[in-house]
Amino acid sequence: MELKIERIYTKPIDKNGYRILIDRLWPRGISKENAALDEWDKEIGPSTDLRKWFNHDPEKFAEFRQRYRDELDQNPATTDFIETIKTQLKQQNVILLFGAKDETHNQAVVLKDYLTNKL
């Protein structure tokens, strides 16, 4: 099975996969019903301080990537999250959902890469 990323505001590409929202904040304008997700893992997203510092600035992305990886390494929730991903990938695709407009410079890109190296 495959680990994918998808913007929550787009129509779901893979409705059969296990869909996890990885933002700390609920995305504006999306109802829980329309989100079509299986899990919301707030704890795995970047800290509020890191999120505010990054402010979706592509010029800060390289440093954001490193800081977020460091946070993931220190986050007690990361181990359980990785186990959930491993378990789900045995059965179905896993889709990491994010709300950022920039589909290249966001936490889902970093988290997917991080998870790929850990699985």
Segments making up each domain of the chain, as ranges:
3-118
Tokens for 1?
Answer: 């099975």
| pLDDT score for 11 | 78
Gap between the Cα atoms of 113 and 116, Å rounded: 5
Q: For the chain, which ranges sit under pLDDT 70? A: 13-14
Gap between the Cα atoms of 112 and 26, Å rounded: 20
Longest dimension (CA), the chain: 38
| pLDDT score for 14 | 65
| pLDDT score for 4 | 96
Could you write out the DSSP letters of every residue in 11-71?
PPS-TTSEEEE--SSPPTT--HHHH--SEE-GGGSPPHHHHHHHTT-GGGHHHHHHHHHHH
